[in-house]
Chains A and B, each alone.
Chain A
Amino acid sequence: MPSDYFPVFVFLLIAVGFPVMIIALSSIVGPRKPSPEKLMPYECGVDPIGSARKRLSVKFYIVAMLFVVFDIEAIFLYPWAVIFKDLGVFGVVEMGLFIVILFVGLIYAWKKGVLEWE
C-alpha cells in the first residue's frame, strides 16, 4: 500500500530539510569576508592550474555504459530470484540464456581492451 511508504516520505523530508536548514543558518549567522584566496577553488592546498572545466576522457563514458547495462541485468535478477523455485528448469534456462548473451557482451568489451585503463 502507498501508506507503507509514509516513513520514506518523512525520511526524505528530514534528509532534504536538515541540510537546507544548516546552509540557511550558516548563511544568516556566518560573517562574510571574501578575499581572492578564499574564493579560489580548493584543490587540497595546491594552487589550481588551468580551468576546472576540462573535458573528461571518453573512457569514463564506456565504463558508465557498462555499468548501466549490468545494472539492468541485476534488476532483472531481482524478480527472477523471487519466483525461480516456481519456474523450475525453465527459469534456469531462460535466465541462463539472458546472462550468456550479456556475458558475450562482457567478453567483447574485455577483448577490445575496454576494461584496461591505458
Chain B
Amino acid sequence: MTLFFFLLIAIVTVISAILVIVLRNPIHSALSLVLTFFSIAGLYILLNAQFIAAIQVIVYAGAIMVLFLFVIMLLNLEKEKRVSEKHPLQKAFGVSIALFLLGGIGSIVATGVLYGNMGTETAAKVSAVGNTKAIAGLLFTDWVLPFEITSILLIAAIVGAIVLTKKEL
C-alpha cells in the first residue's frame, strides 16, 4: 500500500517538476511548482515526517510561492517580450550536465547502495513521543546555535529586501 502511494506521489512530483521547466507561461510554471511542493509534502508523510510535511505546505507552498509570484509579477514579461534567448553552447552544456548526473545516479543504482545506515531515531521511537516533540527536543537543546543563527539569516533577508527596494533609506 505504501509502495502504491509512493509511486503515485513520486510520479506526480516528477511530472509537475518537469512541467515547471517545460511550460512557457511563468505563472503556469509557478502553479506546477506548487503541485511539486505539495507532492513532496506527501513524500515526507510517507517518510513519517509529519511535522516537516506541514512545514513544507505552510512555508513552501504558501509563503515562498507568494514571494515567487510577486517576483514574476514584478518582472512581468509580456508575450512579445518573452523571446527565448539561446546561446549556441546552451544545448551542449545542458546535455553534458544531464549525462553527468545520469551517470552519477546510474553508478549508485548499479553498485546497489540505495539505502544508508538506519539512524537511531526510528519511526516507532519518534511516534512514541510525537513527531513535533521529537524535533523540538533536539532543535532547542543540541541544535540551539543553528536555531539562533537562523534569526540572523532572517534579519539579513529583511535588511537585504529593504535596502534593495527602498528608493531613499
> Which residues of A line the B interface, CB within 8 A?
1-3, 5, 9, 51, 53-56, 58-62, 64-69, 71-73, 75-76, 78-80, 82-83, 86-87, 91, 94-95, 97-98, 101-102, 104-106, 108-109, 112-114
Contacts and interface: CB of A to CB of B under 8 A. Distances in A.
A101 B48 CA distance: 33
B63 interface: yes
B78 A73 contact: no
Nearest to B38: A12
A61 B140 contact: no
Contacts of A58: 74, 165
B147 A94 contact: yes
10 pairs of A and B residues whose beta carbons are closest in the complex:
A79-B136, A101-B151, A105-B155, A105-B158, A65-B161, A68-B63, A56-B73, A83-B136, A71-B63, A58-B165
Given A62-B162, A72-B154, A109-B158, A82 B133 contact: yes
Chain A interface helix/strand/loop/mixed? helix
A105 to B, nearest CB: 4
Contacts of A64: 63, 66-67, 70
Contacts, number: 134
Given A5-B45, A71-B59, 5 more contacts: A55-B74, A62-B166, A65-B161, A73-B151, A87-B140
A62 B55 contact: no
A20 B2 CA distance: 26
A58 B76 CA distance: 12
Central interface residue in B133, B161, B169, by most chain A CB within 10 Å: B161
Given A56-B70, A61-B74, A75-B59, A66 B158 contact: yes
A61 B165 contact: yes
B40 to A, nearest CB: 14
Given A54-B76, A68-B64, A76-B150, A105 B55 contact: no
B162 A76 contact: no
